[in-house]
């Protein structure tokens, strides 16, 4: 846990004249669960796309495990709000697509489907699944590559409250078992505080606040309330951490 897996130094991003990320500096340790929280349009998802290598920074450096990210980051996987499953393929085939389709890979897919509690849906097609089930498949697909870094771009935003809470619990369970470095983008402050060990507020295209979350798991609403209130004040009152 002591070593930094991801280092971001003086990163800026421009779209034409729009300065969408301003001098971002982060150090993320191996095994941390980090949340990037803030209102829509602040730059959270853009930063995640830079880490994933889906876009390039305008300047600055992003390095994972000591290697500068230049192009698609093969040591990370992204889970989006849109599950992006291939509708003409079964659940199992969505997990094994693009990989050597041997018995070992199919066994690994089945093991992951068990971990996300979808054992009986191996041969099902995405259209027959609920939104929560589809996101469980998307999570299992991301884990098939056993990435160093799991990137979650508002993957629970379209789910109902009960399904969302169950998915939060599942993601936390898998993170605790695997100790896989995880970065969650969310506009839900309670979700960030319930899940993450380190939280960054992204506001007006820069890091406005950061804090370590030492509340023991599982985290009740009462336990997360003080930090959630502090973060809401940062988001709403314009305070910037110095």
- Nearest CA to 155 among 195, 128, 119, 123? 195
What CA–CA distance (Å, rounded) separates 22 from 156? 27
pLDDT in tens, 64-81: 999 999 898 999 999 999
Residues in Cβ contact with 216 at an 8 Å cutoff, skipping those fewer than 6 apart: 223
E-state strands within 140-231 = 149-153, 181-186, 198-203, 206-212
The whole-number pLDDT of residue 100 equals: 65
Percent of the chain's residues with pLDDT above 90:
89
pLDDT in tens, 78-124: 999 999 999 999 999 999 987 666 788 899 999 999 999 999 999 99
Tokens of 165: 């809470």
């Amino acid at each position: 846990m002591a070593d930094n897996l991801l280092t971001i130094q003086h990163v800026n991003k421009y779209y034409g004249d729009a300065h969408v990320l301003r001098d971002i500096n982060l150090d993320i340790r191996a095994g941390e669960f980090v949340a990037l929280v803030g209102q829509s349009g602040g730059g959270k998802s853009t930063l995640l796309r830079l880490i994933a290598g889906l876009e390039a920074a305008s300047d600055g450096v992003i390095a994972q495990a000591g290697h500068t990210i230049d192009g698609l980051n093969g040591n990370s996987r992204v889970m989006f709000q849109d599950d992006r499953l291939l509708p003409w393929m079964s659940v199992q085939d969505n997990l094994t697509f693009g990989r050597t389709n041997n018995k070992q890979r199919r066994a690994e897919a089945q093991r992951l489907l068990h971990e996300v509690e979808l054992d009986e849906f191996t041969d099902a097609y995405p259209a027959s699944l609920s939104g929560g089930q589809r996101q469980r498949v998307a999570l299992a697909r991301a884990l098939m590559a056993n990435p160093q870094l799991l990137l979650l771009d508002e993957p629970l935003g379209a789910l109902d409250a009960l399904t969302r809470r169950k998915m939060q619990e599942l993601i936390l369970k898998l993170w605790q078992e695997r100790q896989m470095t995880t970065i969650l983008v969310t506009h839900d402050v309670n979700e960030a505080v319930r899940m993450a060990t380190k939280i960054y507020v992204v506001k007006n295209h820069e890091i406005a606040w950061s804090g370590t979350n030492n509340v023991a798991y599982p985290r009740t609403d009462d336990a997360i309330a003080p930090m959630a209130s502090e973060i809401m004040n940062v988001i709403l009152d314009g305070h910037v951490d110095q």
